[in-house]
Amino acid sequence: MNRRDFLQLTGLGTSSVLLRGVPIIGHSVDPQALLEPGLDISIKKRLADAALNEAKSLGASYADVRLGRYLNQFVITREDKVQGLVNTESYGVGVRVLSNGCWGFASRGDVRNETDMAQVTQKAISMAKANAGLSQRAVQLAPQKGLGEISWKTPIQKNAFEIPVKEKVEQLLAVNAAALKNGANFVNSVLFMINEQKYFASSEGSYIDQDIHRLWPTFSVTVIDPKTGKFETRDALSAPMGMGYEYLQSNPADKITGITTRYNKGYDMLKDATAAAQQAKQKLTAKSVEAGKYDLVLDPSHTWLTIHESVGHPLELDRVLGFEANFAGTSFVTMDKLRTKSFPYGSKQVHITADKTEVGSLGAVGYDDEGVPCKQWDLIKEGALVNLQATRDQVHMLGENESLGCSYADSWSRVQFQRMANVSLQPGTTPLSVDDMIKNVKKGIYIIGDGSYSIDQQRYNFQFGGQLFYEIKDGKIAGMLKDVAYQSNSQEFWNSCVQVCDQRDYRLGGSFFDGKGQPIQTNAVSHGSATARFNGVNVLNTARKI
């Protein structure tokens, strides 16, 4: 878990239990309870209709209902011990209404019948009326045709919740053993599994049933120099994914370079832990970087976080407008910059899209939490800023009449609001491998994995570290470096992009617990890219001089 995730999550309120900085919402259950079926879809529809009918009878111009069942299982180990096993289930309903031009929202966790649904709706109507007294303008909803009764499911091959806990524990302990055997002094590993069973119904005639699965296998390895007491770490290069347990059981990885293994469709956790221990040991004796200007070759396991912070968040419409500043800040982007459709956010090589349909991604769903069908659209095309991310009640500000499908709530108890879509740097169209890219770099650094970072409140000036750093001299890898961080600003950095490898190298990274809002909500979102080259970037030496 990176620093951003930890800081966001440890700020959660008393409604959550914190486990090593991870939010766990719901009550503890036996693992077998996670496999029990939820409410029959006919019951869900009947309960939803009770709320929708009550909203109509009370004069609401629009209403939507979200019945949700949220399942979590977390397995935590360290060295040869199991540190924790968490199984939680949360069930309830959230009702949102539009009355007197204002939103009202209410939720309840002990819904048993139609009377309960009507009472929740009445409370939401009361909230809307109270809000109307403070509102200066009426909510404008983009048109959305009712979709009838439909369903969508993450295309998994193996439900992770069906895999015996014993098997998961054995896999993590084997990972730890491999790291210890190869020189690690300490290692902890975690397997996060989430299943969102979400039913959405609206007064426009949509009844959408979705079954969403996500998985994140991760670890951290530490190696200590017994002579000096100094230590180095290397975290997993895994990407959290919108997949089932097949992500861990398939092994399609192939070694493209001698430095690290690329994981495109599956993740060999054992192989990565073995390499992590060896590489953490190498970091102890690695050469400290000499500060200066370098051409950077950035692996997708690193680039995802730079995309997330310097593109994903700045292009959220609520941040651009100043409506949102939590976690962390607004945006250097303005509506004037967008209107020109020519603001040079990046070089001609930079094509960045938003996409909630990409198979395997964390944000992949069929429909957002306003019942809008998800799609892909351009944010930056040939370097120019062309669009933002928005919801149904925001797109009119962009001069559009169709929602971009960016609404999400992390629980039935939270109101849905604008969240980041999967935001990705598209691969280059000219055939280019990582090896070929490196061959043309005279003085550079190859960076793998994400690390610590900082970015200002306008999402402009930033600094990023990583997991592994390799010096490039005259087109060849010259050895490992350490104490590396690069410094730039969002526009300068993306304009320094000169090459992006082709589709063969495209991979996803992402954040399993990305925080936003007050009270905070967490969202899972992926960011894809192929390896990319950025010229003339300022590199700092982060070592403390005593």
Q: pLDDT per residue over 109-129, tens digit each? A: 989 899 999 999 999 999 999
Structure tokens at 273: 């832990």
Please check whether residue 536 lies inside any domain of the structure: yes
> Residue 539's pLDDT is what?
98
Q: What is the pLDDT of residue 522?
A: 95
Does a structural domain hold residue 265? Answer: yes
pLDDT of residue 35: 85
Could you tell me if 431 and 462 lie in one domain?
yes
What pLDDT, on a 0 to 100 scale, did the predictor assign at position 29?
Answer: 83
Are residues 199 and 230 located together in one domain of the fold?
yes
Phi, psi of 176 (to 5 degrees): -60, -45
Length of the chain: 546
More confident residue, 74 or 35: 74
199 and 336: one domain? Answer: no
pLDDT grade for 99, boundaries at 50, 70 and 90: very high
Comparison of pLDDT for 260 and 190, the residue scoring more: 190
Asked whether residue 324 carries a pLDDT value surpassing 90, the answer given is: yes
Same domain as 466, residue 379:
yes
pLDDT tens string 11-66: 322 222 334 445 566 778 888 888 899 999 999 999 999 999 999 999 999 999 99
- pLDDT (0 to 100) of residue 14: 25
| 128-139 pLDDT, tens digit each | 999 998 888 999
Are 275 and 236 within 8 A, CB to CB?
A: no
Range of weakest confidence among 21-30, 86-95, 388-397: 21-30
- Does residue 223 lie within any of the structural domains? yes
- Considering the domain architecture, whether residues 196 and 122 belong to the same structural domain is answered as yes
Q: According to the model, what pLDDT value does residue 481 have? A: 98
Q: Give the position of tokens 């250097």.
A: 332
pLDDT value at 261 more than 90? no
pLDDT, tens only, 338-359: 999 999 999 999 999 999 999 9
| Same-domain check for residues 307 and 390 | yes
Which of 260, 284, 308 is the C-terminal boundary of a domain? Answer: 284
147: in domain: yes
| Mean pLDDT computed over 238-266 | 75
- Give the mean model confidence (pLDDT) for residues 256-267: 69
The confidence score (pLDDT) of residue 249 equals: 80
Distance set, CA 49 to CA 43, 79, 405 (Å): 10, 52, 23
pLDDT computed for residue 133 by the predictor:
87
Question: At which of 284, 318, 339 does a domain end?
Answer: 284
Compute CA distances 154 → 158, 195, 208, 285, whole Å: 11, 10, 14, 44
Whole-number pLDDT of residue 135: 81
Question: pLDDT at position 31, please?
Answer: 83
Express each pLDDT in 167-188 by its tens digit. 999 999 999 999 999 999 999 9
Q: Exposed/middle/buried for 257, CB within 10 Å: 0-12, 13-18, 19+?
A: middle
pLDDT in tens, 194-222: 999 999 999 999 999 999 999 999 999 99
In this predicted structure, the answer to whether residue 83 has a pLDDT above a threshold of 80 is yes
Does 77 fall in a domain? Answer: yes
Which three-class secondary structure state does DSSP give residue 35? helix
pLDDT for res 24: 60
Question: Would you say residue 255 has pLDDT above 60?
Answer: no
Clarify whether residues 301 and 386 are in a common domain: yes
Domain membership flag for residue 11: yes
72 by DSSP, 3-state: which? strand
Q: Does residue 199 sit in the same domain as residue 231?
A: yes
Three-state secondary-structure class, residue 386:
coil
Whether the bond into 314 is cis, omega within 30 of 0: no
pLDDT at res. 258: 55
**pLDDT score for 2:** 41
Q: Fill in the amino acid letter for 323.
A: F
For the chain, give the mean pLDDT. 92
* pLDDT tier for residue 252 given thresholds of 50, 70 and 90: low
Res 362 pLDDT > 70: yes
**Residues 470 and 450 both lie in one domain:** yes
Q: Tell me, yes or no, whether 546 lies in a domain.
A: no
Nearest CA to 469 among 279, 304, 309, 303?
279
CA 531, CA 446: separation in Å to the nearest integer? 10
Percent of the chain with pLDDT over 90: 87
N- to C-terminal Cα distance for the chain?
A: 29
Residue 395 has pLDDT above 90, yes or no: yes
Q: Is the domain of 75 the same as that of 110?
A: yes
The parent domain of residue 99 ranges over: 3-284
Same domain for 293 and 223: no
Give the domain-ending residue among 241, 256, 284. 284
Q: For the residues of 254-280, what is the DSSP string, one character each? A: B-SSSS--B-SS---HHHHHHHHHHHH
349 and 251 together in one domain: no
What per-residue confidence (pLDDT) applies to 254?
Answer: 45
How many angstroms separate the CA atoms of 127 and 105, rounded? 7
* Beta partners for residue 327, in sequence order: none
Q: What integer is the mean pLDDT of 510-523?
A: 94
- CATH assignment at residue 177: 3.30.2290.10
Specify the number of domains making up the chain: 2
pLDDT band at 322 (very low <50, low <70, confident <90, very high): very high
